[in-house]
Structure 1
Amino acid sequence: MLYRWFVRPEDYGYGHIIADSGDWAAWLLMVTLFVTPIRLLFRKRPWAIWLMRRRRDFGVASFVYAAGHTIIYLARKSSIDAIFEDFFAAEFLTGWLALALFLPLALTSNDIAVRALKRSWKRLHRLVYPATILAFVHWALSAYDPMTAYIHIGVLAAIEFVRVWLQIRQRVT
């Protein structure tokens, strides 16, 4: 993306890179959240175990794309006044809040943090759910055509419905 943006800005401009970086952040976040229903449905399958072991990697990759998305936005605005002018608009505020919730998750997505935080780690990482809602609302509010965001929100809702249903059914909390 960065290569295309720098080499061919007339063909791959700001609108493309901001949309693509946000899309990748959302898709990787969906993969991260989809791992739990997969694990609950297919516990012993090697591919399900592989996904489970890499769930944090997908989550961190999602954060990296979201951070890149933010950096691209900040570079485009290029002044603090312009950033603060947009800051409290709903489409931007939801994105800032989502990023603020994702930051501690990314920073603690390593084995050292898991050991140090013990049971608190899982409680902290449940922030992924409100952060995800904020991120997808940001997408829907800021998209040129929000239909794609709405479709993804529907898929995300289905993933979460299946996860909750499976956890209740299997009495997993």
Structure 2
Amino acid sequence: MQTKRDSRPLLWLLLALPGLWILGQWALTPQDYGYGHAIADSGKWAAWLLMATLAVTPLRLAFRRQAWTLWLMRRRRDLGVASFTYAAGHTLVYLWRKGSLDIVLGELASDYILVGWFALALFLPLAITSNDVSVRRLKRSWKLLHRLVYPAAILTFLHWVWSAFDPTTAWIHVGILAAIEIVRLALQRRQRVT
């Protein structure tokens, strides 16, 4: 019997709660919680879940014998797909607000908008192939394809820094992302040496 801890539907419910909260706030209090909050919160959740996804590998390397890191490895794709879902929601909020293809195309000249679109374009094949069938069919190519997460993450955080009214919070998250990646690379190098 599957335990609640291993239940994917429960995990997906938990991952959906922030999105439901965003939609609820926007629907119930549109004057207080409008476009600005919805776009910011959906973007933050996309970034936070991306950082959580990227943190799984260094945690697994550092705490190999712990059962919780194995659980995280098994759910890493779920975290990544949830991150993409919030990024897609972020994009839909943006498109809804602009309401015109001409306006959207005109804003491509803005660096932060263009970088955001590039990040989403890199995440799309990752989200589409984040399933067992794709892993089996693509074999070694799957892992190579999913290394696109690293440039996509850089573009995501660059989008955040460039689009923020006050980029301090974004820069703090860039530092956390850099720390996650430095630890991952150091642990992988140490593993190869020993």
TM range (shorter): over 0.9
Q: Which amino acid aligns with 1:17?
A: A
Aligned-pair RMSD on alpha carbons? 0.8
**What does residue 90 of structure 1 align with?**
111
Corresponding residue pairs, total:
172
Shift of 1:2: 0.9
Unmatched segments (≥5 aa) in structure 2: 1-21
Deviation at 1:88, TM superposition (A): 2.4
> Which residues of 2 match residues 19-58 of structure 1 at below 5 A?
19-58=40-79
User: Counterpart in 1 of 2:15?
Assistant: none
Match of 1:110? Answer: 131
Q: What residue number does 1:123 align with?
A: 144
Q: Displaced runs of 4+ in structure 1, greater than 4 A? A: none
TM-score, normalisation: structure 1: 0.98
Superimposed CA distance per residue, residues 17-58 of structure 1 (whole angstroms, 9 cap, x where no aligned partner): 100000000000000000000000111201111111100000
Q: Is 1:59 aligned with 2:89?
A: no
In structure 2, the residue matched to 1:170 is 191
Q: Cα deviation per residue 1:105-161 (whole Å; 9 max; x = unaligned)?
A: 000000000000000000000000000000000000001111000000000000000
Does the residue aligned with 2:192 lie in a helix, a strand or coil? coil
The DSSP-based 3-state class of the residue aligned with 1:171 is: helix
Tell me the distance in 2 between the aligned counterparts of 1:63 and 1:56.
10
SS in 2 for 1:170: helix
Equivalent position to 1:70, from 85, 91, 111:
91
* TM-score, reference length from structure 2: 0.87
Instruction: Could you tell me which runs of 5 or more consecutive residues in structure 1 were left unpaired when the two chains were aligned.
Output: none
Question: How far did 1:171 drift?
Answer: 1.0
